[in-house]
Amino acid sequence: ATRTRGKVGFDSSEATRGQRPNGGRLGRVRKCSVKRVELEELGVLVKGTAKQGWHNKGYIFPDGYKATTVFRSSLEIDQLCTHVCTIFSKGKFHPAPTFRVVSADRPD
């Protein structure tokens, strides 16, 4: 991961197309690209018996995580808009995490 002026850029080519040096997978990396994400809230790690679903082999999902990214609009395909990504515990799947992505052009 690289850090540029408060933004974190993930370059999947650094991960050699989603492969670890020992041959294990890092996650669902399918193509080489760079995504810019602005971290708003880091969140906290969930520990104890309620931790089921808060991590997998490749990722840790902290409670309270919030980030924004610019991506293609789902309404106007030729436009870009901001998407807010959050992970929280008091949602539909409690005590497991709830993941929410809200687009600026579709806040409902």
pTM over 0.85: no
The span from the first CA to the last CA of the chain, in angstroms, equals 32
Contact 67, 39 (CB under 8 A): yes
Looking at residue 92, its pLDDT comes to 84
Mean pLDDT value of segment 68-87: 91
Place of tokens 């991961």: 1
Indicate the pLDDT class of residue 17, thresholds 50, 70 and 90. Answer: very low
Looking at residue 55, its pLDDT comes to 85
Q: Quick check: helix, strand or coil at residue 42?
A: coil
| CA 13 – CA 108 distance, rounded (Å) | 35
Cα of 18 vs its chain's centroid, Å: 15
**Is the model more confident about 57 or about 84?**
84
